[in-house]
Chain A
């Protein structure tokens, strides 16, 4: 049963009062009390989707691509050339392409779950799935930086800007350390989570509220209800863009952090 329908049903039964969907709509009850939730199924299935499509499209990769290979290559080329090579530089980017490509695919598929009819739950509205991704991105860029500059070399590279008078460094170094090393995984996580979470709430609100108003019996309310549905559709299109954009931004930032960490100059 789709989430929208669930909420609509819930709001109708609620009678006179409209209860706006809250954060609780992400806490779906586990399936048959097994502790397995809908988002878990979706996340697991995303691996099947991603690997199935990507392996099928690359298995017989040839000089002249077929339709499937062309589609796969478009996504791969986007991450490889537009994100990884641009952000890391054409010498060392290949080492990080598998990680960035996987990251992009994993995020974009799980984001688009939010807009597919009947699925309609962006699994990354659950922060738990994003935490390992951000942690891994953090480990990769820190690790690449330490491998390139050495531990203290990297610390200096990441926190001490060039061409700054030494008395300012007292202020600047802790700030740089905070923003370049401590805060990054949190901002990565929260940006993606916040977008998916809020987008889904917004859709649920327009759909649920529209359904409630339409069945209210009042003709003015009905009109507003239709307007709410129209808004819901508009927001769905907005979400289509946001879902892609967040996958892109997450991957791009991870690539930029790596590129910055292994750059020769600050």
Chain B
């Protein structure tokens, strides 16, 4: 026993060659494809293309911006390196100058110290000379008094008269010096 479905199928198969297109299907296929084509053409492709173009532009814009930034950074780096070199140069110059200045200062100080020392020595000498002179003077007076006293004692005669006394002393001393 064969079912109705199978009968129907086989009957259809006998009357229809699968390689022969059915006209309603051709018409429907054409219409449906036309609708899809128009829809895709008008509403889908333009939107996707717009997104593509925007994306390309965004990427290219980003690249251009990155290039500009890179160039800026390079310029800045070069500038900084130049500044650094300048600063090094400047530092070397300052160091050199400081060394020279230091040497000059040391020399000056040395000279000053020398002068001062000379001055002090000179001063000492003068002072010593003055003191010696003073000592000589006072010694002369004292020796005179002593000698007068002594001579008075010896002679027994007081030489009270000042003028005479000093005259005697002077004479004695000059005799003394003359004897020398």
Contacts and interface: CB of A to CB of B under 8 A. Distances in A.
Interface in A41-87: 43-44, 46-47, 50-51, 54-55, 58-59, 61-63, 65, 69, 72-73, 76, 80
A53 B1 CA distance: 47
Interface of B: 1-3, 5-6, 8-14, 16, 18-26, 28-30, 32-33, 35-37, 39-41, 43-45, 47-51, 54-55, 58
26 contacts: A10-B9, A15-B1, A24-B9, A27-B9, A35-B24, A40-B25, A43-B25, A43-B32, A44-B28, A44-B32, A46-B32, A51-B39, A61-B48, A62-B54, A72-B48, A76-B45, A98-B37, A101-B45, A102-B33, A102-B37, A102-B41, A106-B33, A126-B25, A127-B19, A128-B22, A129-B29
Given A128-B23, A133-B29, 4 more contacts: A13-B2, A24-B11, A102-B36, A105-B36
A51 B47 CA distance: 13
A9 B2 CA distance: 11
Given A24-B10, A54-B44, A63 B54 contact: yes
B32 A22 contact: no
B51 A63 contact: yes
Nearest to B54: A63
Nearest to B25: A128
B51 A29 contact: no
B18 A62 contact: no
B6 A131 contact: no
B18 A127 contact: yes
Interface string A80-115: 100000000000001001110111011000000000
A128 B32 contact: no
B28 A129 contact: yes
Contacts of B11: 24
A115 to B, nearest CB: 20
